[in-house]
Amino acid sequence: MPDADDIRWFKTEFGPVSMAALAGTPFDLDMLVAIACQETGHIWSGLRRKGLPTAEIARLCVGDTLDASRGRSAFPPTKADLLAVPKGQAMFDIARKALLDMAAQVPGFGFASGMPDKFCHGFGVFQRDLQFFKTDPDYFLQRKYEHFGSSLEQCLGELRRGLKKLGLEAKVKLSDLEFAAVAIAYNTGGFSLAKGLKQGHFNGKRFYGEEIFDFVRLSRTVAVAGATPAIAPPPPGVAILPPPSPPTTDGLPFVVDTLDTPLRLRSAPVISDPPSANVIAHMPDGHPVRALSGFAKNGFLEVETSLFGALLRGFASEKMLRAAPAAAATPIAAVAPPPPKDGITAVLMPRRPGTVTTRTAQANAHSLNEPGQPTRAGTTAVDLTDDIAMIIKWLDVESSAHARYQPRDGLTFCNIYAHDFCHLAGVYLPRVWWTQAAVRDLAQGRPVAPLIGATIEEMRANALFQWLRDFGDRFGWRQTGTLDKLQQAANQGAVGLIVARRKEEGPPGHIVIVIPETDALRALRNDAGEVTAPVQSQAGSKNFASGTGMPGWWRGAQFADAAFWVRA
């Protein structure tokens, strides 16, 4: 399948004509690249490496030989069905020759010469299906599909119809998830909100919607010569994540003015019962927000802001907001690329030489160092999600033999399980962290030795909640505002967490890992297609390797605050 170099070639060769055609549409070049990669990338990526002329490559972008014997029901399911319509013989001759010409250049199609009734059903870089022969025969008979511009015109027409079907025709710009939904409609003729991206053609590993989303994200890491990509290309073992979403409104500026406690941002302009049920986030005193309108409802203003990298929109008490200068800007979190090598650095519990910390021993402050531990090393979303599945399987939190995670004597070990997962996935979530005095010394450049009980201390879930806010950005973490974004990040092979802090200092908070969806286990979604419970993995009073848990558990009355975090 196409890689970054293939996409760069495609943008160089077809970018100018594509950009002209995209003017006035909500689509962008990366979205078109994703369709081209999914539909015929297996063809043009190989042909361009052979050095064939661009026009010849476009001519050879044909395919889809599935017929009635493989479940095709759309016209024409068989050669006989094609021959039965006017000019059917001429069309068969074209479709047959197109297949043979392509098969002569592309490995894997050698069967074509020995099967005389086989012919192509998909034509052009964007694969217009032969079912449209009945209504637009000239497009196929005149071989317009051989020209990139004609194939692009048909593609954009189908995408516009997908927009209308999904009620998105008024959109000026689409998110990547919205585009993937439109692409699914392009592929299947419809879209089901409840299924998310797991729709469209299934290749045995991923659905059409998932593949399209993967290609959009990959394309955003690729720029032509002299340009800068929208997303920096990640190294192996790191997922592709976009930068934090900036606020979209330039409405009236306010700042939170509570003087005592953070301000609750709610999903509706009412105080829920219990009061925490509709809380989206807690905004600190002095935090800037922008009003979406100048009118309050039930004493609440609808506002938008960015908090630790998360784009948030909700309702805040008007009484707890103070007008701010018009020039006041909402800060957007900048995630530090590499972990720091000096100053306040990562720390692990020191161990005696030769000692091994295993899953079968009871929990302690050391990190795992068993031989053969799995890691996250993939370079694609598929590889990375496979790596995560291997880590979850290896940790096997449900196994009674893995005493490290089993609740005992009123103790639970969600923090240790989350640390172990992150440790194997190659991201830092502390099992121990520096004391406040040690942090001050390190910040001033003074060396500090890690000594448990003196300069470092163990981290429970409540402490991890605060650590992510205070230090997470130094180690690549950022908050995200919705469960949709959280689950989609996990589906791309990123590390996702839900962390909740208890109201009282004594009882533990809770932290869970959000893991990729599978065909067997998908996130729970409401009628609008929004994730209400992502796929999670946890240790706690009940350990489970994968499940959706109780929707909204983090909004329980026992928790003072909660947040969603992602790490590429």
- On the question of pLDDT at 328 being above 70, the answer is no
Q: How confident is the model at residue 112 (pLDDT cuts 50, 70, 90)?
A: confident
Cα-based angle 430, 432, 435 (whole degrees, multiple of 5):
115
Residues 305, 390 within the same domain: no
Could you tell me if residue 456 is inside a domain?
Answer: yes
Closest to 246 (Cα-Cα) out of 199, 180, 290: 290
Could you tell me if residue 229 is inside a domain?
Answer: no
Number of neighbouring beta carbons within 10 Å of residue 444: 8
Which CA distances in Å does 284 have to 242, 305, 482? 25, 12, 19
pLDDT of residue 335: 65
Could you tell me if residue 247 is inside a domain?
Answer: no
Tens-digit pLDDT profile for residues 200-241: 999 988 999 999 999 999 999 999 999 999 999 999 999 999
pLDDT of residue 336: 62
Residues 419, 526 within the same domain: yes
CA atoms within 13 A on the CB side of 109: 22
468 token code pair: 């992510």
Q: How far apart are CA 538 and CA 523, in angstroms?
A: 15
Tens-digit pLDDT profile for residues 415-447: 999 999 999 999 999 999 999 999 999 999 999
Cis (ω within 30 of 0) for the bond into 274?
Answer: yes
The total number of residues written for the chain in this structure: 568
Residues 206, 260 within the same domain: no
Query: Residue 313: enclosing H or E segment and its boundaries?
Result: strand 310-317
Where does residue 512 fall: left (phi above 0), alpha (psi -120 to 50 degrees), or beta otherwise? beta
Residues 288, 214 within the same domain: no
Alpha helix positions (H), 27-85? 29-49, 54-59, 79-83
Q: Taking residues 252-262, report their average pLDDT.
A: 93
Q: How far apart are CA 457 and CA 435, in angstroms?
A: 7
Q: How confident is the model at residue 290 (pLDDT cuts 50, 70, 90)?
A: very high
403 token code pair: 């005493």
Q: Taking residues 96-110, report their average pLDDT.
A: 95
Place of tokens 């000019």: 87
Residues 458, 317 within the same domain: no
Tens-digit pLDDT profile for residues 535-560: 999 999 999 999 999 999 999 999 99
Q: How confident is the model at residue 327 (pLDDT cuts 50, 70, 90)?
A: low
Spatial strand order of the sheet with 62-63 comes to: 62-63, 122-123, 128-129
Tens-digit pLDDT profile for residues 25-49: 999 999 999 999 999 999 999 999 9
Q: How confident is the model at residue 134 (pLDDT cuts 50, 70, 90)?
A: very high
Could you tell me if residue 345 is inside a domain?
Answer: no
Sign of the C-alpha dihedral computed for residues 192, 195, 197 and 202 taken in this order: negative
Could you tell me if residue 242 is inside a domain?
Answer: no
Q: What is the domain range of residue 552?
A: 381-567
Could you tell me if residue 343 is inside a domain?
Answer: no
Q: How far apart are CA 132 and CA 154, in angstroms?
A: 11
Q: Of 160, 193, 219, which closes a domain?
A: 219
The answer to whether the beta carbons of residues 535 and 523 sit under 8 Å apart is yes
Tens-digit pLDDT profile for residues 189-199: 899 998 999 99
Q: Of 323, 347, 372, which closes a domain?
A: 323
Residues 481, 525 within the same domain: yes
Tens-digit pLDDT profile for residues 338-348: 789 999 999 99
Chain mean pLDDT for the chain: 95
Residues 446, 314 within the same domain: no
Residues 509, 554 within the same domain: yes
Which CA distances in Å does 506 have to 455, 461, 474, 502, 539? 22, 11, 28, 8, 19
Residues 38, 103 within the same domain: yes
pLDDT of residue 337: 67
CA atoms within 13 A on the CB side of 137: 10
Could you tell me if residue 365 is inside a domain?
Answer: no
The answer to whether the beta carbons of residues 134 and 128 sit under 8 Å apart is no
Query: Residue 562: enclosing H or E segment and its boundaries?
Result: strand 559-567
Tens-digit pLDDT profile for residues 164-185: 999 999 999 999 999 999 999 9
Residues 425, 316 within the same domain: no
Q: Picking from 105-114, 132-141, 145-154, 439-448, which range would have the lowest pLDDT averaged per residue? A: 105-114
Closest to 206 (Cα-Cα) out of 193, 192, 196: 196
Residues 212, 260 within the same domain: no
Q: How far apart are CA 123 and CA 143, in angstroms?
A: 9
Give 261's DSSP letter.
S
pLDDT of residue 325: 85
Q: How far apart are CA 349 and CA 414, in angstroms?
A: 18
Sign of the C-alpha dihedral computed for residues 475, 476, 479 and 485 taken in this order: negative
CATH number of the domain to which 533 belongs: 3.90.1720
Alpha helix positions (H), 396-446? 414-425, 436-443
Q: What are phi and psi of 538, to 5 degrees?
A: -150, 155
Q: How confident is the model at residue 332 (pLDDT cuts 50, 70, 90)?
A: confident
The answer to whether the beta carbons of residues 538 and 553 sit under 8 Å apart is no
**End-to-end C-alpha distance for the chain, whole angstroms:** 23
CATH number of the domain to which 292 belongs: 2.30.30
The answer to whether the beta carbons of residues 484 and 552 sit under 8 Å apart is no
Could you tell me if residue 540 is inside a domain?
Answer: yes
Q: How confident is the model at residue 65 (pLDDT cuts 50, 70, 90)?
A: very high
Q: How far apart are CA 336 and CA 478, in angstroms?
A: 10
pLDDT of residue 98: 98
Q: Considering its fold, how many domains does the chain have in total?
A: 3
Q: Of 219, 242, 270, which closes a domain?
A: 219
Residues 80, 186 within the same domain: yes
